[in-house]
Amino acid sequence: MTSPTADLIVALQASPADHDRLMRAACTALLADTTAPQPPDADALRAGMSRIADTGLDVVLQRLLLDAPQGSPTDALAALLRPAELSWDEPQEIDWAVRHWQDCRAAGLLDEESAADFGEYWRRIEWSAMRHHLALLGQGHPEERRLLARIAKISARYVALGFLKRAMEARYPEFFDLGFSLR
């Protein structure tokens, strides 16, 4: 999966007040990027899931591999919206995603299902982000707590990821306590 460039991360960290302009420009640049992002493979996802549970997550692995088309515009956007080093409030993420969805629709870059329904496009973004976060977790990324928090949030949102949510609750119950924040 394509990741935001280190330069963009540095710029966003150095100029938080300018994040909207920088992110809009980065989202626009994604439209011109014709290289298909390379999402994590099954082994990378398994490595991340092993940090959560030793067994029982094969169903989730298959769902992540089959139900979120890989190499789609959502893979690159998910990496941009949810890098391991930064987080924004979800309404801001949705704003950027809606703009990107509209631009992708206008350019004819989306399949019929995601072009017709922003909710489906958002689900694919979240599932793409989940794949990316699990792969980073399996690699021992230093932002482990942020990655775990995002995995907990996404797994709690989708019934199809219920096995992962239950595994997360058992191993990391603090991420399901009221009042927890990604920040």
- In a domain, residue 182? The reply is no
Which 8-state DSSP code applies to residue 35?
Answer: S
- In a domain, residue 153? The reply is yes
Q: How far apart are the first and last CA of the chain?
A: 24
Rounded (10°) CA dihedral 21, 97, 46, 68 = -150
Tell me which residue has tokens 């959560």.
52
Instruction: Name the maximum alpha-carbon separation found in the chain.
Output: 44
Amino acid 179: pLDDT: 56
- In a domain, residue 105? The reply is yes
Distance CA 34, CA 52 (A): 34
Amino acid 181: pLDDT: 56
Amino acid 68: pLDDT: 60
Residue 111, domain extent: 6-176
Amino acid 34: pLDDT: 62
- In a domain, residue 37? The reply is yes
Amino acid 2: pLDDT: 47
| Per-residue confidence in pLDDT tens, the chain, 183 aa | 445 678 898 999 999 899 999 999 999 998 887 666 677 888 999 999 999 998 888 988 888 887 865 667 788 899 899 999 999 999 999 999 999 999 999 999 888 999 999 999 999 999 999 999 999 999 999 999 999 999 999 999 999 999 999 999 999 999 988 655 555
Query: Does the reported pTM lie above 0.85?
Result: yes
Q: Which two tokens stand for residue 175?
A: 């991420």
- In a domain, residue 51? The reply is yes
Tell me which residue has tokens 């932002």.
143
- In a domain, residue 183? The reply is no
- In a domain, residue 1? The reply is no
> What angle (nearest 5°) sits at the alpha carbon of residue 89, between those of residues 28 and 24?
15
How many domains does the structure of the chain reveal?
A: 1
Amino acid 85: pLDDT: 92
Distance CA 183, CA 149 (A): 10
> What angle (nearest 5°) sits at the alpha carbon of residue 15, between those of residues 11 and 16?
115
- In a domain, residue 22? The reply is yes
